[in-house]
């Protein structure tokens, strides 16, 4: 007598980077024989639908009532709740999913979130551990074997890779032996994560001076186009801007074509690292030990000021020295050392 695989709902994080860092968890759950359906926001669908571990997706509606109805129709046996918010636990509870795995939350939130979990797992201490391993104890509580590696890895299909090349060709960047460097001045989290856009301008000029055979591409999300446009204009309008009109899957296909990405702590940083693209990552208000790029070949620049990491969207001291103290010359040197001849 064969046993039907468990129909498992996985509540996905809201941020792109957090979803990338959760890839090893999805792989471990799929390897355990579960049939995975992701509950995620619509803008994540074009990326998450490409994952081999994922069987189906439910897009999260603006209406909680509509989302709950969709979950009830799914007749799930269990839910694995990756975010730590109250709402992420409330939706599966309201849908009547019988088993709801998740961390109880931080002490001040226990009394609200804990009753919605069944069972709730004690949240591990995070200090000194990369975020990719945060779900180790959750998997252990479910008797699910840990993944073979906690390093997220993304592999594009041949069709997706061809789409990335076509998008570059649209920007007049064709196949070439010269290194292609992406500059990503954005960070959706807030201004505190952004290296000043004028420094990206300085870096672009410095790279052209030191490494004239290299090519540059300015990467932008739809909410950060103004940053990319400023860099584009101030660097002589010679480096194309790609990204504002692309969905997340298309942007991933473009990132896969890069040789190097200079980036703030951001979703594209994690996407590029998972694709095997080397990163020069600029950190200020966040902790590179927790959320730095995973894998080999990356360089992290971090000033480690007394006030950092503060994890604030805006600098509470108003000087933003944690990122302003990173000079363009140092970033240029890191780029040349990372990928140069």
- Model confidence at 111: pLDDT above 80: no
pTM of model > 0.75: yes
Q: What angle do CA 252, 253, 254 make, to 5 degrees?
A: 90
- The rounded distance, in Å, linking the Cα atoms of 185 and 201 is 10
CATH of domain 7-141: 3.40.50.2000
Q: What is the pLDDT of residues 125-134, one digit of tens each?
A: 767 789 999 9
CA 252 to chain centre: 11
For position 1, what pLDDT does the model report?
Answer: 44
Q: What angle do CA 236, 239, 240 make, to 5 degrees?
A: 125
Q: Once rounded to an integer, what is the mean pLDDT over residues 42-60?
A: 94
Percent with pLDDT over 70 in the chain: 96
Q: What is the pLDDT of residues 198-207, one digit of tens each?
A: 999 999 999 9
Q: What separation in angstroms does the CA of 312 have from each of 119, 198, 303? A: 32, 22, 16
Q: What is the pLDDT of residues 12-33, one digit of tens each?
A: 999 999 999 999 999 999 999 9
- Model confidence at 279: pLDDT above 60: yes
Domains 7-141 and 160-339 share a fold: yes
Q: What is the pLDDT of residues 285-326, one digit of tens each?
A: 999 999 999 999 999 999 888 888 878 888 787 788 888 999
Percent with pLDDT over 90 in the chain: 72
Which 8-state DSSP code applies to residue 196?
A: P
- Model confidence at 40: pLDDT above 90: yes
Return the beta strands (E) in the chain as ranges.
Answer: 7-11, 35-40, 56-59, 78-81, 99-103, 120-121, 180-184, 215-219, 241-242, 260-264, 278-283, 299-302
- Model confidence at 234: pLDDT above 50: yes
Tokens of 182: 């992406």
List the domain boundaries for the chain.
Answer: 7-141, 160-339
What fold, for 160-339? Rossmann fold (3.40.50)
């Amino acid at each position: 007598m064969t046993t039907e695989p468990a129909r498992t709902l996985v509540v996905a994080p809201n941020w792109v980077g957090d979803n990338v860092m959760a890839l090893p968890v999805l792989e471990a759950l799929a390897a355990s024989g579960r049939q995975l359906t992701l509950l995620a926001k619509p803008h994540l669908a074009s990326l998450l639908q490409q994952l081999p571990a994922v069987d189906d997706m439910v897009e999260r509606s603006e209406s909680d009532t509509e989302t709950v109805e969709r979950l009830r129709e799914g007749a799930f046996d269990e839910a694995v709740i990756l975010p730590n918010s109250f709402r992420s636990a409330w939706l599966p509870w309201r849908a009547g999913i019988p088993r709801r795995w998740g961390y109880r939350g931080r002490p001040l939130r226990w009394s609200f979130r804990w009753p919605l979990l069944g069972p709730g797992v004690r949240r591990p201490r995070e200090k000194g551990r990369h975020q990719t391993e945060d779900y180790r104890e959750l998997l252990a509580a479910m008797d699910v074997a840990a993944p073979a590696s906690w390093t997220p890895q993304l592999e594009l299909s041949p069709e997706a890779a061809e789409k990335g090349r076509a998008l570059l060709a649209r920007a007049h960047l064709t196949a070439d032996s010269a290194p292609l460097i992406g500059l990503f001045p954005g960070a959706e989290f807030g201004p505190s994560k952004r290296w000043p856009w004028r420094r990206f301008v300085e870096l672009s000029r410095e790279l052209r001076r030191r490494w004239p055979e290299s090519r540059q591409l300015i990467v932008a999300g739809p909410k950060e186009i103004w940053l990319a446009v400023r860099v584009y204009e101030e660097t002589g309008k010679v480096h194309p801007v790609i990204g504002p009109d692309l969905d997340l899957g298309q942007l991933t296909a473009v990132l896969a074509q890069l040789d190097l990405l200079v980036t703030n702590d951001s979703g594209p940083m994690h996407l590029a690292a998972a694709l095997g693209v080397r990163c020069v990552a600029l950190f200020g208000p966040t902790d590179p030990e927790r959320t730095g790029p995973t894998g080999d070949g990356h360089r992290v620049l971090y000033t480690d000021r007394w006030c950092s990491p503060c994890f604030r969207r805006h600098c509470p001291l108003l000087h933003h020295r944690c990122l302003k103290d990173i000079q363009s010359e140092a970033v240029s040197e890191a780029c040349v050392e990372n990928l140069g001849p």
